[in-house]
Amino acid sequence: MQFAHGKLNWALINSVIFVGNTPNSGPSDAFWPLMAGLEFEYPLGNFQMDNEQLFLSWHGSYTSFEDDLDHVLQDGSIEPITDQWEFGLSFRKKDKPIKIWWFKYDRLGLAYRFSSSGDRKGISFVFRSIFER
């Protein structure tokens, strides 16, 4: 669901996903990530790339893993991950993708992810809107 307020565009983003795995040997497993987030976008004044207006985008989301996502450690022990927060910042051109060599990207940026417990942290690259993942 997208909204606009002046030059600021923003979107409310939600998703429900079923992820399952049935290996050739061993038990089947599944989990249900439920995500809710907000994404914002604002033009960067006179900044341009290839004669296209640049936009600054930022987002925040929360994902709950309803059946816990199991992280298997090197020693074989299992550590459940119950949730994940993500906050990201990126930029994009108004109507065209960003081209680097033969690659085309909707946007370029970084996001920081972490669990509520603080045990899991990471940085990811942002190449498209969280709405399009």
Q: How confident is the model at residue 89 (pLDDT cuts 50, 70, 90)?
A: very high
pLDDT, tens only, 15-52: 888 888 787 877 777 778 899 999 999 998 887 777 78
- The domain in which residue 11 lies consists of 2-132
CA–CA gap between residue 109 and residue 55 (Å, rounded)? 12
Six token digits for residue 4:
């606009």
CA separation for the pair 67, 60 (Å, rounded): 22
To the nearest whole number, what is the mean pLDDT of the chain?
85
Phi and psi torsions of 131, nearest 5°: -70, -25
> pTM score, two decimals?
0.78
- HSE toward the beta carbon, residue 49, CA cutoff 13 A: 17
pLDDT of residue 123 exceeding 90, the answer is yes
- Contacts of 70 by beta carbon, 8 Å cutoff, 6+ apart: 29, 78, 79, 80, 81
**Tally of domains in the chain:** 1
pLDDT at 84: 92
| Eight-class DSSP state of 95 | S
Task: Return the bridge partners of 99, or none.
Answer: 104
The pLDDT confidence band at residue 68, using thresholds 50, 70 and 90, is low
- Residue 132: pLDDT band (50, 70, 90) is low
Q: Phi and psi of 130, rounded to 5°?
A: -65, -20
Rounded Cα gap, residues 128 and 108, in angstroms: 8
Average the pLDDT over 113-133 and give the result: 85
Position with higher pLDDT, 71 vs 94: 94
Instruction: Yes or no: say if 113 and 84 are a contact pair by the CB < 8 Å rule.
Output: yes
